[in-house]
Amino acid sequence: MDDAASGTSRRKALYLMGAAAAGLAALGADGVPAARGSQAAPPPAVPRPRAVIHPKPTPTPTPKPRPAAWTPAKLTTVKPEPIRELTELVPPPPANAIALTIDDGPSPLWTPRVLDLLAKEDVKATFFIIGEQVEEYPRLTRRIADEGHQICNHTMTHPIDIAHLSKKKVRQEIVDAHDRIANVTGVVPQFFRAPGGNWSERVLDLVTEHDMIPVDWAVDPRDWERPGVGRIRRSLLDGKAGNILLCHDGGGDRSQTLKALEGVIPKMKKRGLAFVAL
């Protein structure tokens, strides 16, 4: 082969080598192809939007009356006047029943102590509570109801002159307290006690209009005057089957009342008396 032919062959070989190198460079610029048998990386997962679930609020129970301890029937009375004895209720409780009623709370100081004593003695009582106190101490009020005691209306502000108030004012006292008590405890009051036992025809008419029974008492130790533990105890121990007893957990220092009840309740139970809530 002559030199000219040899030079041509070398130039052709160099050209082909340059073209191959250029091709490899182009492949490198575009990315190295995947190895045989491997798979391309999947695209990143896009999270799906989750449906927002709004839980339904727990429905608030409709307030309802709490039946008396001895009957599921709605109680009535044999007379329109305030009752003083359990035998005036229809249907009446068992013959050995006696009722402890407690007024003017709830008190953040004395009501818990009274409740602790009642729980210790396994006694259910009847609480005549004041609307303003309910508004101020709702958790304590609920405790009274949750522990199975009867809840009753004792007006909104405890006006001692309720017998002389206008019909509009009496209605406001009764209705406002009724609504506060029912909304906080879930118990619709079925009984009403006038502050100081001061009744009038107007008060009685409005109590009847709101489907409540007016309640007085048969035994009053006047514990609100703080006459001494011994006097309160002796007065309460004069009570007998069928009586409605009056005590207080609000309106002042009730240490004497509490101390008296600590002795009275066990003694009455030993006599065969059974404490019942209205």
> Which residues does the annotation mark as catalytic?
103, 248
CA distance linking residue 222 with residue 276, whole number of Å: 21
Asked if residues 170 and 203 have their Cβ atoms less than 8 Å apart, the reply is yes
Place of tokens 């029974």: 213
Give the C-alpha separation, 12 to 196, whole Å: 127
Q: CB under 8 Å to 185, separation ≥6 — which residues?
A: 63, 134, 141, 142, 144, 145, 151
Q: What is the DSSP letter of 195?
A: G
Max distance between CA atoms of the chain, in angstroms, equals 150
Sorted by sequence, the CB contacts under 8 Å of residue 67 that are 6+ apart come out as 73, 74
Measured CA to CA, the distance from residue 175 to residue 155 in angstroms comes to: 8
Interacting residues of 141 by C-beta distance below 8 A, sequence separation 6+: 106, 129, 133, 134, 151, 181, 184, 185
Six-digit token string for 278: 């209205």
Q: Which of 166, 162, 116 is nearest to 140 (CA)?
A: 116
